[in-house]
Structures are given as C-alpha cells and as structure tokens.
Amino acid sequence: MKNALVIDLEAEKQEILKRYRALLRACKPTMQRGDKKEIRKAFDMALESHKNMRRKSGEPYIYHPIAVAQIAAEEIGLGTTSIVCALLHDVVEDTDITLEDIEREFGKKTARIIDGLTKISGVFDYNSSLQAENFRKMLLTLADDVRVILIKLADRLHNMRTMDFMPRQKQLKIASETIYLYAPLAHRLGLYAIKSELEDLSMKYLEPDTYKYIATQLNEKKAERSMFIKRFVEPINEILAEQGLVADVYGRPKSIHSIWNKMKSKNIPFEEVYDLFAIRIILDSPPEREKADCWKAYSIVTDLYRPNPDRLRDWVSSPKGNGYESLHTTVMGPKGQWVEIQIRTQRMNEIAEKGFAAHWKYKESSNDNGLDQWIMKVREMLSNPEANALDFLDDFKMNLFSDEIFIFTPKGALIQLPQGATALDFAFEIHTDIGAKCIGAKVNHKLVPLSYKLQNGDQVEIITSGKQAPKEDWLNIVMTAKAKSKIKSSLKEEKRKIAETGKEILERKLKSLKITYSTDNLNKLSYFFKLPSTQDLFIAVANGKIELKDLREYLSSEKEVDNKVVHERPERTEYQQIENLLSRVKTAESDTLLIGEDMQKIDYTLAACCNPIPGDDVFGFVTVNEGIKIHRTNCPNAAQLMANYGYRVVKAKWNSQRELTFLTGLHIVGIDDVGLINNITKVISNDFKVNMRSITVDTDNGIFDGSIMIYVNDTDHLDRLIENLMKVKGVTGVTRFDA
C-alpha cells in the first residue's frame, strides 16, 4: 500500500512538471532574456510553500497557481512579471512567506502587485461586506497597476472552472459575486472571451436547469448550423479574394448567457432566438488601410445580403471606451433569418479578445487612451476617502456596465459619458464647481432641466449661478460615480456645518437643564429621539426639531428609568439582532432553515420581489427589522445580496409536510377567440381546483394578453398547470412572472 502512495506522488510530480512546461510554452511569445530563470524561481517558491496543501478536489494545490499563470499568459497575453505574480498570488495569504520575502527575491513591483492580490484580513465594520472591501482594495492597486485586476480575473476564472467540489452555498455566493462584479469588470477591460465564460459559468451554478436546457438545444442543432454557416460564408470568401482582401471568415456561437438574456428580455422561447451565432470577418490589413478595408468588406457583404438599416454599429470611427473597435451589422440570410456580422482587423480582434493586455502591445502606434481615461475615472472615485465600500461598489458597477455616449461641449470638444447620463452629470464631468453651481443647461441650443437625459451627439452648454448649491434630490438625478461622490461630500460638508451650529446650541441648552454634556448622554439622547447618530441629533437641534421642552421630556423619562441601565446604541442593537437570528439558524440540528414548519419558531417571510413557492431553489437573507426573508436564487436582487452580504445568507429548503398555498403570477398570450377566457379559467378552477386572486386581460387587434394571480402548492403543481393551459386552443405562451 505504501508503495502505491509513493508511485502516486511520483505521478503527481510528473504531472506538475508537465503543467509547468506547458506554462513555459505559453509564455514564449513575451519572454526576454533571463525571464525563464525568474519564472522558475517563482515556481519553486510556490511549489515549496504549497507542498502539503490540497484543493477541495484532492488535487495538489500547486495546480491552481500554475493554471492561473497559464490563463494570464495564454488567454490574456501578459508578460513575465504577471506570470511570477500569478504563480505566487496565494503564498502570502496561505503560507508563511511574507511580502518582505517576495520584495527581497523579486523586487518592489512584484510585491506591490501581490499585496493588491492578497485578500484583506482583519476586522471590518459588520455592515460592510468583506468582498466589497477586498474589491475596493484591489481597485486602489489598479489605479497603479492594471495587472492586479487582470491576474485577479485569471484567478477567478480558474476558480469558476473548478467549482464542482464546493458546497452549494459557496457555489452560489462565488457565482453571484462573479456575475455582479467580475464579469462586468472583464467586459470593461475589453476581455470579451473571459467575460462570456465567466457569465456562462455563473449561470451554470445559479440557473442549472436553464443552462443545461440551452446547452442541450444548442448541441442538437449543431450540424444544421454548421451547414448554414458554410453556405452563408462561401460567396463572401469568393468576393473578398477577388477584391484582394486577405480575411478569415467563420461563425462563432453566442454564449449561453447571452442567449438566455435575449429569451428573458424579449420574453421568447429558445426556438425564437434567431441569432444563435455571429459571423466574424477578420481582415489582415496594414494599419494605414484598416478603416478602408473594413468598409470595403462591409460593402461586399451588404451587396450579397440585404442589411437591416437600423442595426449598423460603427465602432471603427469612434471606438468604445474600453478600446473595442469593430463594425457590426445584421443582414437577411438566404433562409429568411437575420444574421449578425462583425467586421474587424486582426489587431482589433486581438484587442477585443485579450483586452488591454493586447493594447499595450500596440500602444506605440495607437493613440487611443480609452483605458487611461477609465483608470483616471476609477482614481477619482477612489479619491473620495469617506465612501462606504458598498455604496462605492454599486456606483462603480453602474459605471462599469453602461455603454458610452459621446457629448460635445460648446467649443466642440468630445466628452464620453455612460448611457443614461444627465445634464447634471455632464456639468460635474467638466468641473466639480460647475456641477455644484449648475441651474440648467442648453442642449442643442434649447433650454433643458438638470435631469434631462443626454442623447449621443448632443451639444451641451451649462448654465450656472453663484447662489446654487448641491441638494439631496440631486443624487436621484445623476448616475455617474464622480457626480454622486462630489454631491455626497458637498452635502456632508453642509451637514457638518449645520451640526456644528446644533452642537453649540445643544451644549447651551443642556447646561441650562443641568445635564452634563458627555458622550454617554449624547448617545442616550440620540436613542431617546430615535436618531441613528449624534450628528443627526445636532442637526435636529439646529433645525429646531428638538427644543427645550423636548429635552425636558427626556430629563423626566431619564429620572423614571434607573440610571444604571446603559442604553445600547441602535446600530449595535441591530447588529445583535442579526447575530441572534444567524446563531439560532446555525445552531439548529442542521444549518439549513426549513420553510413551511414552525420547527424553530424563526420569523421568516417570503420576499415580495420574487414570490418564491415550494420547489423553487431558495436561500434565506437575514434583514434588520423583518427577520429572515426567503428569496429565489434567481431573484433579480439575489446576486447583489449574495455578493455584498454573503455573511447574512442562510441555506433554506422547503419542507413538504404541509399543504400550503403560495401566490404566484402567470402571463398568458394567445389569439383572442370566443370563450378563450372561459376555457382558461375552467382549467384553473375546475381541473386544478386552484384559487385565483385576480385576473387582468387586454385584447388588442385579435391578440389576447392576460395576467392571472393564482395560489399554488409548489413548482410541480405550477408546471402541470402551465402544461394544461398550453393545451387550451388559442393559447400560444404561458410564463411565470415575479409579482
């Protein structure tokens, strides 16, 4: 037996070397003299420090750092420094090696990147999320070095690829974080291949059934699609060759996640999603001919197939903020279906696939500074020191996701803003002072309010006034992080001034009532007036909301209460509530909350945002005032809750002992026919004995569109009901919706 183990270790040793050699091959394109030695040194250090560690799957831990380095080299195209950092990215966190050791061996730069990659340990405010703080720390380093984020993305991608051995709860949390933060980040850095894979892998864990269904459907029609693509591409290839254009033309399948998004946004079944693939034309053109060749290829394609005039996207003339350049159009194929075509050059394609790592390669020749601008924006956001990590995250995410619009100043300078930005955002983008004093704007010479949503190509002139100052409701008008943080800090400053005044008034009033002005008494006063902090207390005094008579009231109530009782701060009490609820769930026989029985007398309610019913995959979320809320794992808010407040999530499952009914909604569409409503209600009431709460029906030119709120027992019950409704003559679609 002992011998078998030795052989086993020997085989592992061989496998580690094999993987290391594959990594070296992947690094070859960027290697300089002496690089191999550095990589070897990092590999040896990682191998030695992780030698007794194993992953959840039982594999040697070293497989992970090698894989992360491989992704960094092969799929992102990073160089030696990054490979060294990828190999060592976990040693400071998981082993005895310190940052000082790394700096001594590999220099300051490497140590700084690894510091950015090491999760922050230590205690945080319980309201903030550890992940949010980690993310913020990572971004702080990004402002210095983009490689931190690129390696972090490689690390996350490998973790997502190897998540099968994790417990379900952990899978849900990591997948939620990925879809909420890391996929949009990859998108923003132009790493489209990685972004699509991260989205697909998240979906595999968050929506396993839908994922399997779409994957199976795609597989079944694979041969048919290949045939169609072959026929579609042949004539294009011929004419490109005649015209002397060297090009690679191929079909590329759309990701499962993007197909699913289309099914959701258009509310259509898989069979009706027409663009399951896109045709790519990659041209081999010298820099000076790139634009002309792209348009030449465009005219060849549109001579062969009729284009949809509304679907031309030209990112060759003005690239996206993340450097993406391409021409997109949709044409009518030979079988009467729309086909998406993407035209770009090899340089543009490399930037689209590998994002900004490829950009550096072309930096000398390219004058595009989209990423530099974006990193400057990130720096601006980070420079607001007081930002709460979670607010920061949400602002940051909002600016990550959005597509850009281009706005012109009165003098014709071009400003890039996220889609949905308002005139007030534009004012803050130009300068904080202009934003703070803005009272209106002229868009294309017409007067508009601050909340006006800008359109691509608008020319904007800002009107200011010395009397204007930022207001609280401005936060609902702006959407860029820069404007939000400037308005918040301006309001904070204003609040601070008012609080100062209030503090002086309160001191005088307390003195006259012979109450000592102390922290303890201020906390008691805040608690008495139900205010979250002493600053709010000072502001209430300054605004005249708390007067001498109120303070006298407090004094008499204090005398009644035994003075020895120390009032807890309200935030502390909230924290205790959360902790108590969590520990009550966790100390039960299992750490899973059973829904539908009074086993632990734990207060839970079903979340209104997604109306879960038995059979749905669910989790519990501990709230401050409403006990535990049960959400569906695919609830619109789930990713955000799990990514930001992972520690408040508890496992939950349905207990099927009792026949309970739950409210859910069905959306029914069909061809309006005499007696259709009658037939539908017959199936619901008679065949299924289901109670209806409400029904709203709309018919428009022969199309029936109805929403029905019904009470069902569980998902099986609901599925059977949907199946039977689909059999009703005239009904073409039945879908469940979240009330």
HSE-CB at 716 with a 13 A cutoff on CA atoms is: 1
Helix (H, G, I), strand (E, B) or coil at 448: strand
Q: What does each C-alpha distance from 435 to 254, 384, 408, 553 come to in angstroms?
A: 42, 16, 16, 44
Q: Between vectors from CA 59 to CA 96 and to CA 11, what angle results, nearest 5°?
A: 105
Q: What is the distance of C-alpha 360 from the center of its chain?
A: 26
- Tokens representing 333 are 């194929």
Q: What are phi and psi of 664, to 5 degrees?
A: -145, 170
39 alpha-carbon distance from chain centroid: 33
H helix and E strand count, the chain: 31, 19
Backbone φ and ψ for 369, nearest 5 degrees, come out as -125, 35
| Distance from C-alpha of 714 to C-alpha of 393, rounded to nearest angstrom | 36
Q: Are strands 247-253 and 592-595 parallel, antiparallel or unpaired?
A: unpaired
Which of 10, 94, 100, 504 does the annotation list as catalytic? 94
Which helix H or strand E contains 327, and what residues bound it?
Answer: strand 327-332
Question: What sections of 162-221 are H helices per DSSP?
Answer: 168-177, 183-188, 192-206, 208-220
CB of 688 within 8 A of CB of 624?
no
Asked about 553 being catalytic, the answer comes back as no
Residue for token digits 């008691």?
Answer: 524
Q: What is the C-alpha R_g of the chain?
A: 30
Catalytic-role residue among 44, 48, 93, 626? 93
Q: Which residues 6+ apart lie within 8 Å of 318 measured at CB?
A: 406
Query: CB atoms < 10 A from the CB of 96, how many?
Result: 8
List of residues 6+ apart from 337 with CB closer than 8 A = 274
DSSP state of 58: S
Structure tokens at 166: 């994790």
Give the phi and the psi of residue 313 in degrees, each rounded to 5.
-120, 120
* Parallel/antiparallel/unpaired status of strands 438-443 and 460-464: antiparallel
**Beta-bridge mates of residue 443:** 446, 460
Residue type, 498: I
Type and span of the H or E element at 314: strand 313-314
Q: What are phi and psi of 655, to 5 degrees?
A: -105, 120
Q: Three-class SS string for 644-707?
A: HCHHHEEEEEECCCCCCCEEEEEEEEEECCCCHHHHHHHHHHHHCCCCEEEEEEEEECCEEEEE
Buried b (16+ CB within 10 A) or exposed e, 557-582: ebeeeeeeeeeeeeeeebbeebeebb
Active site residue 93: yes
Cα(533)–Cα(519) distance, integer angstroms: 11
Least Cα distance to 607 among 618, 599, 597 occurs for: 618
Q: What is the DSSP string of 6-17?
A: HHHHHHHHHHHH
Q: Which two tokens stand for residue 72?
A: 């960094």
Q: Look at strands 604-606 and 460-464 and give their pairing.
A: unpaired
Instruction: State whether residue 658 is helix, strand or coil.
Output: coil
Task: Give the residue numbers annotated as catalytic, written as ranges.
Answer: 93-94
